[in-house]
């Protein structure tokens, strides 16, 4: 069975040194070998306690605690604040509860079926580009291609605008500046700072966030100024949302915060997952044959429709297994707002609680062959092997990802559409190595090529 690339864990202090001075902004290098075996325990040395929690019963307790003693982590909140203000991704307590009540309906099943039309249009345009690349046999960056495609999908589904417009392009470029800086901000502070310290940001990053927020503001204004039927997108749903308990609407600033987070949480994560999925598939031709057979069986020669998505079981399980081995959100951090106890550990106010899908998804006590890529572990026949609370790429409990169905539908569509017609091959696969920055990413861009599958061979396999 294929085992895709993973980091080589060191002992705790060496991991800290490598992380603090390695200059790569890689949180994965912080994890010692013991982090993959422990149920709960402190992580090496740092000014504040960092407690890794792998045990499913403990992490479920933390992520579903109703008393607000484990709010979003101050370091993450501070790092993301210039872009997303007080949006639902970083807020906690009463404010978060109100925001979530108002935003949930924008991601309903009915709205997803409408968004599917815009997702399909974005993939149609992307396929034209891929045909061109295939024709020229040119190598291209898989990471960048997936970031463009998923950012285009977010622009179309949230704002009814395509990434080809100059504004969307500028937002994308500024976002890249922000993304590169964030992990660096977080890392050294994680090791050296006391809890709730101020987080300074570079001028260039603040300026990039300011420009993004300015553009978001213009898109928000268009939606506010439009009459009810002009837009039928996610932004329109948020602009017209009213709190069911108080009847209040979001202010302009709050709308910019919320829509900024959809751009942030909605395209980086999915791009990360798809980059890894296409990399693994390039290394697994047998799996590609199986997927093509299934796609042919379910979609025939016609388009991939919304109702096909849940029936493309192998494709979906490839996506799930990719999220297990390369969870885009590598760590789900919280902070202890008061002194408490977790398992046998006394945890002081200000301690960082690190729930790491990365270690939990690779923990030998919960998974057979934990580092092997085995999509069939999610098959109906083997469902009983899954341990509740050990698979959490979308988080867990009340704060689980609001866009989980959106991302699963989008990714299944993209995988099915592209795998059906193209073979992917990777230049220098031996150089591929995961790192955790804002999301789980390859350390260097993965350069790949595509080849169009001859017409008819897909049906023959089917
Ligand atoms: C493969 C893709 C995605 C992954 C792996 C992912 C993962 C996650 C995770 C782990 C959380 C919980 C974080 C925590 O508890 O601290 C989360 C929250 C969130 N995600 Fe996603 N996400 C994805 C796609 C999306 C998309 C497409 C959107 C929106 C368009 C989105 C919007 C959000 C928002 C707004 C939250 C905050 C929810 C809350 O705190 O109530 N995500 N996501």
Cβ–ligand 1 contact at 151 (below 6 Å): no
CA of 99 to the centre of ligand 1 (A): 14
Q: Is the CB–ligand 1 distance for residue 361 below 6 Å?
A: no
Residue where the block lists tokens 């030998």: 364
Residue 461: pLDDT over 50: no
- What is the 401 CA–ligand 1 centroid distance (Å)? 4
Give strand pairing partners of 355.
Answer: 332
CA distance 93 to 140: 44
| pLDDT tens digits for range 406-458 | 999 999 999 999 999 999 999 999 999 999 888 999 999 999 999 999 876 65
Rounded to an integer, what distance in angstroms lies between the CA atom of residue 459 and that of residue 462? 5
pTM of the model: 0.94
**Which residue is closest in CA terms to ligand 1's atom 12?**
395
Smallest CA separation from ligand 1 atom 19, residue: 401
Averaged pLDDT of the chain: 91
Distances (CA, A) of 402 to 261, 270, 397: 11, 13, 11
Task: Judge if the beta carbon of residue 266 lies within 6 A of ligand 1.
Answer: yes
The answer for residues whose C-beta is within 8 angstroms of residue 9's C-beta and 6 or more apart is: 15, 31, 32, 33, 35, 36
Q: Is 50 exceeded by the pLDDT of residue 397?
A: yes
Q: Report pLDDT digits (tens) over 226-238.
A: 876 788 899 999 9
Q: Whose CA is nearest to atom 26 of ligand 1?
A: 266
Residue 340's SS3 state is strand
**Does the beta carbon of 265 lie inside 6 Å of ligand 1?**
yes
Residue-level pLDDT at 200:
81
In angstroms, the Cα distances linking 161 to 182, 235, 260 are 27, 11, 15
- pLDDT higher than threshold 80 for residue 41: yes
Quickly count: other Cβ atoms within 10 Å of residue 141's Cβ: 16
Confidence (pLDDT) at 98: 95
Cα dihedral value 279, 284, 364, 368, nearest 10: 150
Residues 6 or more apart whose Cβ sits within 8 Å of residue 114:
232
* CB atoms inside a 10 Å sphere around CB 296: 16
pLDDT computed for residue 91 by the predictor: 95
pLDDT classification of 55: cutoffs 50, 70, 90: very high
Mutate to test the pocket of ligand 1, among 104, 263, 265 (most ligand atoms within 8 A of CB): 265
Residue with the nearest Cα to atom 17 of ligand 1? Answer: 401
Most ligand 1 atoms within 8 A of CB, residue of 107, 401, 407, 412 to mutate? 401
Ligand 1 centre to CA of 13 (Å) is 32
**CA pseudo-torsion sign 95, 98, 102, 108:** positive
What is the band of 460 on the pLDDT scale with cuts at 50, 70, 90?
very low
> Is the pLDDT reported for residue 44 higher than 90?
no
Strand partners, 52: 41, 354
Q: What is the DSSP pairing of strand 422-426 with strand 434-436?
A: unpaired
pLDDT tens figures, 149-161: 999 999 999 999 8
Please state, in angstroms and rounded to a whole number, the distance separating the CA atoms of residues 305 and 113: 10
């Amino acid at each position: 069975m294929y085992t895709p690339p993973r980091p080589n864990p060191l002992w705790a202090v060496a991991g800290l040194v490598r992380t603090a001075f390695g200059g790569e902004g890689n949180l994965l290098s912080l994890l010692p070998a013991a982090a993959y075996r422990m149920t709960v325990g402190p992580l090496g040395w740092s000014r504040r306690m960092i407690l890794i929690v792998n045990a499913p019963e403990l992490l479920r307790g933390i992520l579903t605690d109703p008393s607000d003693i484990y709010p979003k982590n101050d370091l993450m909140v501070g790092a993301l604040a210039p872009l997303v203000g007080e949006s639902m991704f970083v807020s906690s307590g009463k404010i978060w509860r109100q925001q979530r009540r108002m935003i949930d309906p924008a991601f309903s099943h009915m709205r997803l079926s409408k968004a599917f039309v815009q997702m399909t249009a974005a993939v149609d345009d992307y396929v034209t580009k891929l045909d061109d690349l295939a024709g020229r046999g040119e190598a291209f960056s898989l990471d960048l291609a997936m970031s463009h495609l998923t950012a285009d999908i977010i622009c179309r589904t949230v704002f009814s605008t395509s990434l080809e417009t100059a504004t969307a392009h500028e937002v994308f470029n500024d976002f890249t500046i922000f993304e590169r800086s964030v992990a660096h901000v977080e890392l050294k502070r994680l090791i050296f700072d006391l809890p709730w310290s101020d987080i300074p940001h570079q001028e260039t990053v603040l300026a990039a966030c300011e420009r993004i927020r300015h553009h978001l503001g213009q898109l928000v204004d268009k939606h506010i100024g439009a009459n009810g039927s002009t837009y039928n997108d996610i932004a329109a749903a948020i602009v017209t949302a009213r709190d069911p308990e108080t009847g209040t609407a979001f202010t302009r600033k709050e709308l910019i915060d919320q829509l900024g987070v959809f751009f942030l949480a909605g395209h980086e994560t999915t791009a990360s997952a798809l980059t890894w999925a296409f990399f693994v598939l390039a290394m697994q031709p047998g799996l590609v044959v199986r997927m093509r057979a299934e796609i042919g069986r379910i979609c025939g020669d016609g388009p991939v429709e919304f109702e096909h998505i849940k029936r493309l079981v192998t494709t979906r399980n490839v996506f799930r297994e990719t999220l297990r081995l390369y969870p885009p959100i590598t760590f789900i951090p919280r902070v202890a707002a008061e002194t408490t106890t977790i398992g046998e550990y006394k945890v002081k106010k200000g301690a960082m609680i690190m729930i790491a899908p990365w270690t939990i998804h690779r923990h030998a006590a919960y998974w057979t062959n934990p580092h092997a890529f085995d999509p069939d572990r999610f098959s109906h026949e083997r469902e009983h092997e899954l341990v509740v609370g050990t698979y959490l790429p979308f988080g867990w409990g009340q704060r689980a990802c609001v866009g989980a169905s959106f991302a699963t539908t989008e990714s299944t569509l993209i995988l099915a559409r592209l795998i059906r017609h193209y073979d992917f091959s990777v230049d220098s696969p031996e150089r591929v190595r995961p790192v955790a920055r804002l999301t789980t990413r390859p350390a260097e861009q993965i350069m790949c090529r595509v080849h169009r599958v001859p017409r008819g061979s897909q049906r023959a396999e089917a």
